[in-house]
Structure 1
Amino acid sequence: MSLSVPSNAGVPHSTLAKYREKFLSSSKNLLAQNGCTTQNLLDMCKSRNSIQAINHTFDLKIENEGKPITDQKFSGRCWIFACLNIMRVPFMKQYKMEEFEFSQAYLFYWDKIERANYLLDSFIDCARKGETYEGRLIHHLLKNPLEDGGQWDMLVNLIEKYGVMPKACFPESWCAENSNRLGRLLNNRLREFCMQLCQLVEKGTGEVEIQSEKTVMMEEVYRIMNIVLGTPPEKFTFEYTDTDKKYQSFKDLSPLQFYKDYIKGVIFDTEEYVCVVNDPRPQNSYNKLYTVEYLGNMSGGRKVLYINQPVDVLKQLTIKCISENKPVWFGCDVGKSFCSKEGLLDLKCLDFTLVFDVDPLKMNKSERLMYGESLMTHAMVFTGVGTEQDGNPGHVKATKWRVENSWGDKDGSKGYILMTDEWFTEFVYEVVVPKSLLSEDMQRILDQEPVVLPAWDPMGALA
């Protein structure tokens, strides 16, 4: 067999010569080259007109936004931050607080432990079904087995089992804020454990012995998490001075008791919230209930469920929530058409056509999902919306959205982002709203047997 490269391999030299001649003959190309070889590519594409049109004024806005602006630092915990950010709004109002944060590290700690257990149980199940490392399912599950991201129903599992606690009582650690190294270590251990469990199943090992081995594996995960994040207190006392300058305290409470007595029974019940998604792919009908195979974080816990609706339904539900002073958890593809420093999500804010003569927005939302161009990557919170009448009495449509992020207060409007309504249409995939706000027809969808999408489906992406 010859090892030499054929002379006609690859792109023909004659074709490359034509490309070169055409490129160098364009003064626009040369100007773009001069700029992009010395500056940040995205900065070169920023649209001055879009940026100077930013106006962070909204006619509908929740009464009091949470303070301070939160910062997930170098971690993928946005879904946890967004959840606790919407929970703290009614909590701060109820208990008269100027500033407050729930402990994001606390839920992060329990998610890693529960998700490790869920993954090991899933691998035992897969092995019994004859799945092997050569198959697509196992390859998908092992790609990033203990990633930081998550979905709303995973939050419900954690909070309903473990409760919540003030950040002051279980603060951040270095590995919570810088989770990459921890993720690599845990992925290494989980991949080895999965291999060992598969081998035990293949050998016909009994259930008792398999579970005994899994218990030892989980103890190792538990040890690692305690070393890097600390051990959460079983009970805590939290003291503060309220907005009336009076001393207040929550004394000698477990996190679960704190949640059930002072949050769930009073101001916020995670179990009453549902996820409404916009998946416009033709094979996935609207008005159906969906789930994703092997997507979860707690064995025997609540399933990840989606009600699929047109994007305008998601918008109207969000407007309704904000008008009732309720912030809204949502998931989107934040990396698209985003000027992060300016805090702008706008389809026109980056002009790739001007600089490169290419249009990255030619595919529609359905096509992006089908061909791997887009999926949910980040969770944030809607706290306001700009509206105008759409011609129907009592009905308004959105023009722009106010977004609370969890990347600190340096960018945007002190950490807040402006999203255009057109951007919402293309890149927002899900919103979480109280079940009571759904129409009766939509509520009945929750009684359906969910359509099960494969584990690798883009709707299984984690924020």
Structure 2
Amino acid sequence: MTDDTNTNPDTNATTAPSNTTVTPDDISRYSLAFESDRANRVAANAAVSNGVLAAATSYRGVRDLPRDFNVQLKQGSITNQRRSGRCWMFASLNTLRYEVMHRWNLDDFEFSENYLFFWDKIEKANVYLENVLATLDEPTDSRTFEVINEGPVDDGGWWQMFVNLADKYGLVPKSAYPESANSMDSDAFVQYLNTVLRGFAARLREAHAQGADMARLRQMKDDDMAVVYRMTAIALGEPPTHFEFTARTKGDADDGEAAEDVEKNGGEKKADDSADAGADAASADDSAAPAPKDGTENYDGTDRSGIIHEESITPLEFMHKYVPVSPDDFVTLCNAPMDRTPFGKRYAIKWSTNVAGTEQMTFVNVPMDTLRDAAVRQLEAGHPLWFACDCMQFALRGKGIFDPATVRVDELFGIELPYEKGEAIEYGDAPSNHAMTLTGVNLDADGRPNRWKVENSWGKTAGEDGYFVASNDWFDRYVTELVVRTDLLDDATRAILGTPVVEVEPWEPLTRPCE
């Protein structure tokens, strides 16, 4: 810009330039500076021809981030959320399916994501209409109503939303309720369901303004929900109330290998405690350990040929019988290092639940050391972790890499990236937007993590057969939430669980639903 800066000789203060437009002279100076630097011309050639990320990729960074991990879990086949925002569901179910596979000695297993997707639409629609009824006198341009009305049944969510759905509706295997065209590509269905719901909201508010009592408004809402159910059933198909389930366990020759599912320290294997824990739970729960029928079944419900078979079982019965951990036995930790959210407290986000009558999205804000140590502790104990992050930062989807030392946009553009983590969250530059599953970590000679194995839900063509590697630097900067088993928390963090929650507004820059 033109140099119209003025300095007051009395105060020695500098005032802003009077000319606020970009002038032709400014452009000439910018261009001259650009063209005079050989590095700029080389960078432009690379970026224009190949794109920013490819041009910024450091071969040294790729070389220095191997895909070997001295603690890693054996997971099932990679999953694929396709063109939907269900990552939080996939990551949640991938976390639990690991426990199912290793409790029941299965080669592979996948839950039905479509089943929870159906109930998530029903419950989010119900919560939206309930929120409309709770804010009938709120102006439509108020910040609260804008948050409520932003995306009534959008796909995104958190671990706690998964827990709400599983507790109410149970879980089913994928064979009982496969994917549909609209679960794999959800945009059109969600668009029109949102449109219908906003129309319902307008009618409810209009009836209230005309003097309708709450009984009348609730009758209108009940009629609205019947329409929501019809639309969802047409788009996704009605979910099963009972289903048949058959699975074959691995043979005796594989039993030892199945129990040793945590590889540690260069090939040495650490036995997983989850199998014993599951067996203990099964022996303590009659529903999980049916009495033998005519002497052909073992204590765990399988027959002697290694077949698990259920003629007719409900989703809740299935979850309680075959999932060896409860979704409620986890807590969400968050690392949001901002002045407005001191560490060592529980926070709850207003208007954030997806099931009426359940608590809002709640998390414990802890320092990064605490978050990182919890992740290592849980992986070493033989259990994967759900986590949320900003997956757009320093990410190479094709290569399966999350790493600032590999994606050198700073070198490509000749810039310094300005943000510390708290500042990036505060200014909306690095919100959580994607959930995945941690299934491994590499520890250095001092026991500190230097890279992480990440199971994604973008199919086998993303990353290396669906898996990504994240440097610890990236983990510290961009992982914002981690779901940890309560029994594996450190004592100081566990003590925070009994403290009152601090409510925060839904627009505060703490966390965002993951898609």
TM-score category (smaller protein): over 0.9
SS at match of 2:225: helix
For the residues of structure 2 that align with 1:122 and 1:446, how far apart are their CA atoms? 27
Q: In the TM superposition, what whole-angstrom CA distance separates every residue of 1:429-461 from its partner, at most 9, and x where no partner exists?
A: 011011112233322322222111111123241
Does the aligned pair in 2 maintain the 1:124–1:201 contact within 8 Å?
no
Normalising by structure 1, report the TM-score.
0.92
Q: Where do 4+ consecutive residues of structure 1 move more than 6 Å?
A: none
Q: Which residue of 2 aligns with 1:5?
A: none
Q: Which residue of 1 aligns with 2:196?
A: 189
Q: In the TM superposition, what whole-angstrom CA distance separates every residue of 1:382-421 from its partner, at most 9, and x where no partner exists?
A: 111111244xxxxx32111111111111232211111111
Q: Which moved more, 1:138-147 or 1:317-326?
A: 138-147
Q: Which moved more, 1:28-37 or 1:280-289?
A: 28-37
Q: Which residue of 2 aligns with 1:393?
A: none
Does the aligned pair in 2 maintain the 1:131–1:138 contact within 8 Å?
yes
1:85 to 70, 94, 97: 94
Does the aligned pair in 1 maintain the 2:115–2:172 contact within 8 Å?
yes
Does the aligned pair in 1 maintain the 2:343–2:366 contact within 8 Å?
yes
For the residues of structure 1 that align with 2:412 and 2:404, how far apart are their CA atoms? 15
Letter paired with 1:188 = T
Normalising by structure 2, report the TM-score.
0.83
For the residues of structure 2 that align with 1:447 and 1:256, how far apart are their CA atoms? 28
Q: Which residue of 2 aligns with 1:59?
A: 70
Does the aligned pair in 2 maintain the 1:60–1:385 contact within 8 Å?
yes
Q: Which residue of 2 aligns with 1:257?
A: 317
2:152 to 120, 145, 167: 145
Matched, 1:453 2:504: yes
Corresponding pairs, count:
443
Q: Which residue of 1 aligns with 2:111?
A: 102
Q: In the TM superposition, what whole-angstrom CA distance separates every residue of 1:227-284 from its partner, at most 9, and x where no partner exists?
A: 1111111100011322126332122001011112222xxx110111110110100111
Does the aligned pair in 1 maintain the 2:52–2:409 contact within 8 Å?
no
For the residues of structure 1 that align with 2:424 and 2:149, how far apart are their CA atoms? 24
> 1:88 Cα deviation (Å)?
0.8
2:473 to 419, 422, 433: 422
Q: Percent identity?
A: 31
Which structure 2 residue ranges, 5 or more long, are not aligned?
Answer: 1-18, 252-304
For the residues of structure 2 that align with 1:256 and 1:117, how far apart are their CA atoms? 21
For the residues of structure 2 that align with 1:173 and 1:213, how far apart are their CA atoms? 30
Matched, 1:326 2:380: no
Q: Which residue of 1 aligns with 2:462?
A: 411
Matched, 1:50 2:72: no
Q: Which residue of 2 aligns with 1:444?
A: 495
Q: In the TM superposition, what whole-angstrom CA distance separates every residue of 1:98-153 from its partner, at most 9, and x where no partner exists?
A: 111000010011001101101111121122xx321211222222222221111111
Does the aligned pair in 2 maintain the 1:292–1:460 contact within 8 Å?
no
SS at match of 1:458: coil
Does the aligned pair in 1 maintain the 2:385–2:438 contact within 8 Å?
yes
Does the aligned pair in 2 maintain the 1:56–1:413 contact within 8 Å?
no
SS at match of 1:419: strand
1:131 to 101, 124, 138: 138
2:441 to 370, 385, 404: 385
For the residues of structure 2 that align with 1:439 and 1:26, how far apart are their CA atoms? 53
> 1:9 Cα deviation (Å)?
7.2
Letter paired with 2:60 = N
Does the aligned pair in 2 maintain the 1:153–1:302 contact within 8 Å?
no
Q: Which moved more, 1:363-372 or 1:407-416?
A: 407-416
For the residues of structure 2 that align with 1:446 and 1:140, how far apart are their CA atoms? 28
2:82 to 60, 73, 80: 73
For the residues of structure 2 that align with 1:388 and 1:352, how far apart are their CA atoms? 27
> 1:339 Cα deviation (Å)?
1.0
Seen in structure 2, the aligned counterparts of structure 1 residues 326 and 9 have a Cα distance that, compared at 3 Å, is: closer
Letter paired with 2:54 = D
For the residues of structure 1 that align with 2:203 and 2:344, how far apart are their CA atoms? 42
Letter paired with 1:387 = L
For the residues of structure 2 that align with 1:441 and 1:21, how far apart are their CA atoms? 58
Q: Which residue of 1 aligns with 2:45?
A: 34
Matched, 1:373 2:429: yes
1:346 to 403, 407, 428: 403
SS at match of 1:139: helix
2:331 to 274, 286, 294: 274
CA-atom RMSD in angstroms: 1.5
SS at match of 2:108: coil
> 1:96 Cα deviation (Å)?
2.1
Q: Which moved more, 1:318-327 or 1:32-41?
A: 32-41
For the residues of structure 2 that align with 1:420 and 1:275, how far apart are their CA atoms? 22
Letter paired with 2:351 = Y
